[in-house]
Chain A
Amino acid sequence: MNKFTKIVFKKEIMDTFRDKKTIFSSIIIPIIIFPLIAFVIGLGSSDMVKESKEPVQIALLSEENNGLEMFLKSNDNVNIIKTKDYKKTLDKLEAKVVVKIGEDFDEKIKNGEKPEINLIYDDTSQKSEMAKSRIEQIILSYTNHIVVKRLENEGINPQILEPVDIKSSSVSKEGGTGLLLFSMLLPFMLTIWSAVGGIPAATDLGAGEKERQTLEPLLTTKANRISILMGKYFTVVLAGIIATTASLIGFLIATKINPEFLGESATLSIKSIAIITLVCLEMALAFSSIELAISFYARNFKEAQTYLSPVSILLMVPAYLTMFVDGRAVPEYYFHIPIINTIGIIKEVIVSVYDFKHILITTGWNLVYIALFLMITVKMFEKETVIFRN
C-alpha cells in the first residue's frame, strides 16, 4: 500500500466506523439476522414440540368402568379432564379430544363383537388434530394388546402380523433437516453479505464526499487520484468482510439458540472455512469497486442509494435460484456463472465436497471480474464528467 493510500484508508475506517448507521447496517443487522431466523423457527416448532411431550388432554365419556378406561387413566401420556359439558371444554381446548367409549365395551370385546369408540375433535385446530392422532396411537396400543391375546389364545405367534422388518437410515453423514436449512441459508447469506456489506460505506465514501464538498480539496492535495481511490476501495472491501464475518458470528449464535439450525453433527472444518473465506473475499473485492464507481457517478447521497439498492435485489435472484441446489450435485456449468459459482462452492464445502477444479474455475472468473471492475472504476474516477457531474 502506498503512503497516501494508507492515510486515506486509516481515515476512512475511523470515519466509517464512527457512523452509527454503518455500524447498524454492516455489523448489527448481519449479526442478528441468523439468530432471529433461528428464534422464529424455534418459536413456531417448540410450541408444538412442547405440546407433544406433555400428556394428551382428553375428556372421557364412558358409561361403565371398562378396560380401556382403566388403561387410559393409568397411562402417563394421558391426562383426563373432568367435565360435564364436553362440547364447551373442546371449544376452549381445555380437552383437545373427547373420547367416547361405546356401551358394553368389555362385554363386546369378549364376545368378539366390535364396540365403538368415537373421537370428537376440532379439525380447525392443529393442536386438537395432533392430540387426535396421539390418542389414536395410544388406543391402538391397547387394541394391539387385545389382538396379541386373541392370537395367543388360538396358538398363533403374533409375529405373523409383521411379515417384513422395515428399517430406515439416512445416507447423510451429518444431521438431517437441520443440515438442509444450514446448506440452504448459509451460502446464500454469506455470498450476499460479502457482496453488499460494503454498500453503506461505498455510498458515504463516494457520493457522500461529493455532497459534503470535500472531494475538491481532496483532489488538490499531493496525493494522486489512484492512491485516494485505493484507500477508499480497501475501506469498502473491509466493510464487506466485516459484514460477512458478523453474519458468520450471527450464524454461530443461532446454533446456540437452536441447535437444530446446524444439524446434529455438522461442523465447519478449518479447510472449509478457509475456502469460504477465499471465495467471499473475492466477492467483496469484485463488488466493492463497482459500488464505489456507482457511488462516485451519483450526484449525491440519495442518488447513490437509488442506484445501489438494485444491486442487492439483482443478487437475490441467483441466490434464490440456487437455494435448493444440493451441494453434492452442483452442475459443472454453475461454476462459470458469476455469484452462482460462489454460492456453489460454499454449498459443496458445507457437505464436505472439496472439488479443486471448481474452486479454480470460480477463482479464475472472480479474478477476471475484480480486474475488470477495478479498471472501470479507476477510469471513471479519472473522468471529469463523472467527478464533476452537475
Chain B
Amino acid sequence: MIEVKNISKHFKDVVAVDNISFKVEEGKVFGLLGENGAGKTTTLRMLATMLKPSTGTANIRGYDLIQEPADVRGEIGILFGGETGLYDRLSARENIEYFGLLNGMTKKDISVQIEKLSRSLEMEDYIERRVGKFSKGMKQKVALARSIVHNPSIMFFDEPTSGLDVTAVRIVHKFIKELKSEGKTIIFSSHSMNEVEKLCDEVGIIHKGKMIEVTSLEGLKEKFKEENLEEIFVSLVGEKNE
C-alpha cells in the first residue's frame, strides 16, 4: 500500500508540487493525470527517493520515504520516459543483469528472472545482442524487463508511452496489465485520458502542483455525468483556471 501524506516540492520560487495526499491500495493501478508542468514527474521522483520532499512524506509498503529511503528503493521499480535509457554497448542481458545486481540479487536469481522475462516479452532471439542497434520496440522491451528484474511489489511509470509508436504503446499497455494481474501496485502518469481509462482503477488529477480530484473511474464519470473523460478533464481544469 502507498500512502502519500501532504507532500510538497519547491524549486527556489517554483512550487512544483503543492501539498498532495492520496492512497493507493495494494494491487491497484493509480493514474496521475495532468498537463505539461503539472508536477507529475516531480511527484514520482519524490516517491522513488530521487528528490527529497520539501515537506510531507509517504509510507510505502510500511517504509517511511524520508526515514528509510534504501528500503523503499528495494520495493520499487521505475520506468521514466518513453525514450528508454539503456547502455548501447551492453547486451540486453547485461543491461538487465546490471540492475538486478544493483538491487542486491544473486547472479543465479537474475538468470532465472531473465529467462522468464525474455520468454514473456519474446526477447529470446536478441537477448545476447548489444542493444545499440535495436529497434525502438526491442529497446522498449529490454527497458521493461530491466525495470522489473528484481521483482518489485510497486512500479512507477512516468509517461511510459510518450513518443512511442502504436506497436510500442501496445507492448507497454500489455505489460502494465500483466503486472496488475500479478498483483503489483502501480502508479503511472499520463496526459492521455484514453490511456488512463484503459488501465486505471483510480485517477488523481493534478494541476499546477495541486491534486484537484482523486476518485475511481466510475466515480469521476458519475460525478460529472459525462461519458467522455476528455470533457471531464477540460471542465475540471477550466474550473480551476478561472
Contact = CB atoms under 8 A, between A and B. Distances in A.
Interface stretch (A29-37, A214-222, A322-330): A214-222
B50 A220 contact: yes
Interface in A207-264: 212-224
Contacts of A8: 102
Given A213-B84, A384-B52, A220 B78 contact: yes
A4 B102 contact: yes
B51 A222 contact: no
Interface string B138-161: 000000001100000000000000
A14 interface: yes
A217 B78 contact: yes
A7 to B, nearest CB: 5
Given A15-B87, A18-B89, A222-B70, A216 B80 contact: yes
Given A221-B102, A223-B102, A388 B70 contact: no
B70 A224 contact: yes
A223 B98 CA distance: 11
A11 interface: yes
A219 B50 contact: yes
Given A213-B80, A216-B80, A222-B73, A388 B85 contact: no
Nearest to A227: B102
Contact of A216 (B70, B78, B98, B103): B78
Contacts of B169: none
B62 interface: no
Interface string B67-84: 000100110111111011
Size bin of chain A's contact surface: 20 to 34
Contacts of A162: none
Contact of B86 (A4, A214, A216): A214
Nearest to B51: A384
Given A15-B90, A220-B50, A224-B70, A214 B85 contact: yes
A217 B81 contact: no
Interface in B36-71: 45, 48-52, 70
Contacts of A220: 48-50, 73, 76-78
A221 to B, nearest CB: 4
Contact of A222 (B84, B88, B102): B102
B101 interface: yes
Given A213-B83, A388-B45, A221 B90 contact: no
30 contacts: A4-B102, A7-B98, A7-B102, A11-B90, A15-B90, A18-B89, A212-B85, A212-B86, A213-B80, A214-B85, A216-B50, A216-B80, A217-B78, A217-B80, A217-B85, A217-B146, A217-B147, A218-B102, A220-B76, A220-B77, A220-B78, A222-B73, A222-B74, A222-B103, A222-B104, A224-B70, A384-B51, A385-B11, A388-B45, A388-B50
Interface of B: 11, 45, 48-52, 70, 73-74, 76-81, 83-90, 94, 98-99, 101-104, 146-147
